[in-house]
């Protein structure tokens, strides 16, 4: 499912409107207040028809935000590896992933609907996350700081389980302790 047909070029003004709508929606969905699509359009300075031309449903808007933020999260691996050793980069990326998942609370129902109705979207997201983790694991294997028998899929699945569990009870402090345990488990022991 795609929230925007990219098969034909988009006019510059339409592209600006789409970007402004996404920015306004991201801010609105991050707030604790209920989100109205009409309010997002008003905040952007466009009519509701413009919003619906870009995002025909609330779920399409949520998916577009999700895809943008997911792409940024995955791109952050390179930034972290540029400034940190691989083990610290992996731990930092886990924190970014935790922050990312915690901001999904307001849109969780809509996002769940997108992911349940579109197995391809969920599968692509999982592939993107695994590819990002694999970049860090490969760097850690090359430097000898991370074990070479760790699978990116196992890290991603473990993280999702941790985030799900600690969102119900325990909160961020418990999540931090669990992430530290996971990093300890994937570090290569000193010789």
Q: Are 74 and 131 in contact (CB under 8 A)?
A: yes
pTM of structure:
0.74
Q: Return d(Cα 117, Cα 112) in angstroms, integer.
A: 8
The one-digit pLDDT tens for each residue of the chain (191 residues) are 444 445 567 788 888 989 999 989 888 887 767 788 999 999 999 999 999 999 998 888 888 888 888 888 899 999 999 999 999 999 999 999 888 776 655 445 454 555 555 566 667 888 899 999 999 999 999 999 999 999 999 999 898 888 878 776 668 888 899 999 999 999 998 87
| Cβ pair 186, 150 in contact under 8 A | yes
For 25, other C-beta atoms within 10 Å of its C-beta total 25
Domains and CATH numbers, the chain: 10-56 (1.10.10), 58-186 (1.10.357.10)
């Amino acid at each position: 499912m795609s929230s925007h047909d990219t098969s034909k070029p988009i006019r510059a003004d339409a592209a600006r409107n789409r970007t402004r709508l996404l920015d306004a929606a991201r801010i609105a969905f991050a707030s604790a207040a209920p989100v109205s699509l009409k309010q997002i359009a008003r905040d952007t300075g466009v009519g509701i028809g413009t919003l619906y031309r870009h995002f025909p449903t609330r779920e399409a808007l949520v998916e577009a935000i999700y895809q943008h933020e997911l792409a940024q999260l995955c791109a952050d691996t390179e930034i972290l590896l540029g400034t940190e050793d691989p083990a610290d980069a992996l731990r930092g990326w886990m924190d970014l992933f935790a922050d990312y998942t915690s901001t999904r609370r307001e849109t969780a129902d809509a996002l769940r609907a997108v992911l349940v109705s579109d197995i391809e979207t969920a599968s692509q997201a999982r592939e993107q996350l695994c590819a990002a983790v694999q970049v860090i694991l490969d760097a850690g294997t090359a430097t000898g700081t991370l074990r070479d028998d760790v699978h990116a899929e196992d890290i991603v699945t473990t993280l999702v389980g941790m985030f799900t569990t600690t969102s119900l009870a325990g909160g961020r402090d418990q999540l931090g302790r669990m992430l530290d345990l996971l990093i300890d488990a994937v570090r290569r022991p000193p010789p």
